Amino acid sequence: MTDSPAGSRHSTTEFRASRRTFAWILGLLIAVHSFLVLLWVAPVNPMRDAVGNERLTTYINKGHFEQSWSVFAPTPRRLSDTIRLRALVKDPKTGQVSRTEWVDVTALVTRKIKYDITPPRVEEATRRLGSRINAAMFKFNQDQKLLVQGSYITTSTDELAKAMLAAKGTGAGDVAEINAYILYDEMLTRFASMYTEATFGGKVTQIQYKVGYQAVPPYAQRNTVKVSDVRVTNWDFGWRKAIPGTKDAQRAFDGYVEGLEE
Amino acid sequence: MTVIREPDLATRGAEEPAVPQSRPSNSVTNRLLDDAVEQVSRFEAWFLHDKRALHGLSLSRILAGFAVLGMLVTNFSYRSITFGAGSSWMQPIQQGTAFFETKLVENLGATAFTLFYLLAMLLAVLYIVGWRTKIVGPLMLIGWIAIIESGAFLGDQGDNVLRVGLILIMFAETSEHWSFDARRRRKAAAQASGSGPANLLHNIRHSRALLPAWFSNTVHNLALVALAFQLVLIYISAGMFKTQGPLWQHGTALYYPLQLPQYEPIPWLTDLFTHYGVVVGISTYMAVFIQLFFAPLLLNRITRRIALTFVILLHLGIAVLMALPWFSLAMVAFDAIFVSASTYIAMERWLGPRLDPVKTLFWDVTDPIVDRLPFGSRSR
């Protein structure tokens, strides 16, 4: 961070008191900003509580300074998330509804990104959705896990959220986890609706997803077992009413699926 | 407070920050006060006297521009499903975004979005080459945020560091070296040799300073310090989080994410890396220690070079082994501010003559084009 030894064209000797005062005031503002960013990125601490989490969040987000550096820490990610999709598709000519086979989307993505060190970020889509849903499922109790296995075709998933909240017991998934699940359920339903329509054609009326994970083998087994050798542990979910996209959106999915299946 | 006198500066030369005249000392208290006043004056002079790290910030501009361009290019084929109309599957998250820039693209049709995307790519290219940097930079930043934050669910920390870093360097002078703006200034200085009116339009046309030096120096240097602090924060907090984890303490943490398909683009290379426990252990500990002690290592010339070398190697590893090149490039881009001007000058001296044929060809091709662009040196 040192400057050119010869000085630059910006060199000046105008050091009047008013200018120095300006520099100090501006410097103070930068110091306050830097302190707030420090509080934001640091692990939870009493100083952050003193400033107030809501106030800090507002400043950081509105100022475009959102960031988090607990990447792969304290515990690195150890689960490989998987997603499979299937759909009920209505033939537009005959009106006949048929159930498709499961598509292992994450397996297709894995094949696609091999040897690509600059993968497009859409290839992260299903894994991220899987990771978020897996995280929520780990927090749910047995009753809540059973509830998500129900189908929500004519009933909104808001009803599912209410039922899950009612089933909340001690130590089970709380409001935040339930809301997170409902959010990612909708995103995955939207994704699956367009994805399966691009894959199978016709009009998708309902979709079903299966989210699972494979745990990375322990370090001691690193040279003998690969994560792909580990059995997938799946969570079951019921059918969801399809949420179709616009024509432009469906066209984007058509192109994406075509690229994956090449 | 002691006022710095101009004759002092004139005799000391531009490279030395001015120091105050000492008062006669007749006690320890006076000497301590004099020392304190001198330190404060030096501190003020560092901010006001000149713009710092001009080489480093110029390199930051180029590399950050490449990171922006790289992200846009590698996602171009899937721009709609990731950021455009096809990204409606992310709608529940998009609705709550704090980034007002996304309003620019949210209602665009496929063709209009593609044009917007191409324009952002063009701006990134212009930013890299330093053409009208002060105007192009903020426009590129707005365009890039509008696109990237429309698909925030698929983003990573590379987006955050790039956004924060770019916001800060928009307040700094980043076109001093290796830019079309610098070339325009040199040509204008050579042709005019001091003649001609120094009005606002003339200064804009020739990329000359529009604001008083004391003001722009202060803003530049504060932005630089804020960026340096931000980078140090990133490394220290990342290091602190790692020290809390048992797997990092055991030296095996790096093995786990590298097994995940999305972070294993070249399986045989990952297998080679994780095969020997010693390699995993040393790499894991190096990742922790280099981040945790990054700030103190910057304080000494030798340790600074060691720290920067390891940080670059760390990010090279992340780029290749984990397929996260744009995050890595963004970090390295801003780390460039920690390299001293003398190192850049030495590199320029060594590289300059070797690159002369390429430079000549580059200017021969670009000069006629640039001269015809709006506000080019031929436009009057």
Please give, one letter per residue, the 3-state secondary structure of chain A.
Answer: CCCCCCCCCCCCCCCCHHHHHHHHHHHHHHHHHHHHHHHHHCCCCHHHHHHCHHHHHHHHHHCCCCCCCCCCCCCCCCEEEEEEEEEEEECCCCCCEEECCCEEHHHHHHHHHCCCCCCCHHHHHHHHHHHHHHHHHHHCCHHHHHHHCCCECCCCHHHHHHHHHHCCCCCCCCHHHHHHHHHHHHHHHHHHHHHHHHHHCCEEEEEEEEEEEEECCCHHHCCCCCHHHCCCEEECCCEEECCCCCHHHHHHHHHHHHHHHC
Q: Does residue B9 surpass a pLDDT of 50?
A: no
Name, in order, each residue with C-beta under 8 angstroms of B90's C-beta and a sequence gap of 6 or more: A187, B151, B152, B153, B154
- Separation of alpha carbons B283 and A74, rounded Å: 16
CA distances from B73 to A116, A248, B120, B148 (A): 14, 21, 10, 12
CA of A253 vs chain B CAs: smallest distance (Å): 7
Q: Does residue B154 surpass a pLDDT of 70?
A: yes
Query: Partners of A213 in the beta sheet?
Result: A81, A233
Inter-chain residue contact A256 with B81, CB threshold 8 Å: yes
Q: Does residue B113 surpass a pLDDT of 50?
A: yes
Of A72, A70, A188, A235, the residue nearest B263 (C-alpha) = A72
Q: Does residue B24 surpass a pLDDT of 60?
A: no
Q: Does residue B371 surpass a pLDDT of 90?
A: no
For chain A, positions 24-43, list CB contacts with chain B under 8 A. Answer: 24, 26-27, 30, 33-34, 37-38, 41-43
Of A23, A41, A259, the CB nearest to B44: A23
- Residue A192 CA to its chain's centroid (Å): 15
Inter-chain residue contact A22 with B45, CB threshold 8 Å: no
The neighbour count for residue A65, using CB atoms within 10 Å, is 19
Residues in chain B with CB shorter than 8 Å from the CB of A245 are 85-86, 88-89
Inter-chain residue contact B238 with A119, CB threshold 8 Å: no
The predicted structure's pLDDT at residue A84:
98
User: What average pLDDT score do residues B215-233 get?
Assistant: 96
CA of A144 vs chain B CAs: smallest distance (Å): 22
Q: Which residue has the higher pLDDT, B73 or B39?
A: B73
Residues in chain B with CB shorter than 8 Å from the CB of A77 are 256-257, 260
CA of B53 vs chain A CAs: smallest distance (Å): 5
Q: Nearest 10 degrees: CA dihedral of B348, B125, B216, B192? A: 70
CB pairs under 8 A between A and B: 311
Q: By the 8 A CB rule, do B50 and A12 touch?
A: yes
CA of A256 vs chain B CAs: smallest distance (Å): 7
Q: By the 8 A CB rule, do B178 and B129 touch?
A: no
Of B48, B163, B274, the CB nearest to A64: B163
Angle between helices B325-335 and B301-321 (to 10 degrees): 170
For chain A, positions 72-111, list CB contacts with chain B under 8 A. Answer: 72-80, 106, 109-110
Burial of A237 (0-12, 13-18, 19+ CB in 10 A): buried
Inter-chain residue contact B337 with A1, CB threshold 8 Å: yes
The predicted structure's pLDDT at residue B139:
98
Q: Does residue B304 surpass a pLDDT of 80?
A: yes
Closest-approach residue (CA) in chain B for A9: B50
The neighbour count for residue A183, using CB atoms within 10 Å, is 17
- Residue A48 CA to its chain's centroid (Å): 26
The neighbour count for residue B350, using CB atoms within 10 Å, is 10
CA distances from A46 to A170, B54, B237 (A): 28, 38, 16
Amino acid (one-letter) located at B184:
R
Instruction: Determine which of A16, A20, A82, A114 to mutate to test the interface with B (most B C-beta atoms within 10 Å).
Output: A20
Of A6, A20, A219, the CB nearest to B252: A219
Q: Specify the residue for token string 């430079």.
A: B359
Amino acid (one-letter) located at A257:
V
> Residues in chain A with pLDDT < 50?
none
Amino acid (one-letter) located at A188:
L
Residue A74: asked if its preceding bond is cis (omega within 30°), the reply is yes
Phi, psi (deg, nearest 5) at residue A234 = -105, 150
Take residue A22 and report the two structure tokens written for it: 């300006």
- Separation of alpha carbons B5 and B20, rounded Å: 8
Take residue B379 and report the two structure tokens written for it: 């436009």
Closest-approach residue (CA) in chain B for A186: B92
Q: A94-98: which pairs have CB atoms within 8 A and are 24 or more residues apart?
A: A97/A205
User: What average pLDDT score do residues B320-324 get?
Assistant: 97
Q: How high is the ipTM of this complex?
A: 0.93
The neighbour count for residue B257, using CB atoms within 10 Å, is 18
Whether A23 and chain B come into contact, CB under 8 Å, resolves to: yes
For residue B376, what pLDDT band results from cuts at 50, 70 and 90?
low
The neighbour count for residue B150, using CB atoms within 10 Å, is 26
Closest-approach residue (CA) in chain A for B229: A34
Residues B335-356 have pLDDT tens digits of 999 999 999 999 999 998 999 9
* Three-state helix/strand/coil letters over A180-214: HHHHHHHHHHHHHHHHHHHHHCCEEEEEEEEEEEE
Inter-chain residue contact B49 with A11, CB threshold 8 Å: yes
The predicted structure's pLDDT at residue B196:
55
Q: What is the DSSP secondary structure assignment for residue B25, as one 8-state letter?
A: P
Residues in chain A with CB shorter than 8 Å from the CB of B237 are 41-43, 69-70
User: What average pLDDT score do residues B302-322 get?
Assistant: 96
Q: Does residue B108 surpass a pLDDT of 90?
A: yes
The predicted structure's pLDDT at residue B6:
34
Residues in chain A with CB shorter than 8 Å from the CB of B244 are 43, 73-74
Burial of A31 (0-12, 13-18, 19+ CB in 10 A): middle
Inter-chain residue contact B75 with A226, CB threshold 8 Å: no
The predicted structure's pLDDT at residue B199:
77
The neighbour count for residue A37, using CB atoms within 10 Å, is 23
Inter-chain residue contact B259 with A217, CB threshold 8 Å: yes
The neighbour count for residue B374, using CB atoms within 10 Å, is 6
Closest-approach residue (CA) in chain B for A107: B261
Take residue B116 and report the two structure tokens written for it: 């917007």
Whether A218 and chain B come into contact, CB under 8 Å, resolves to: no
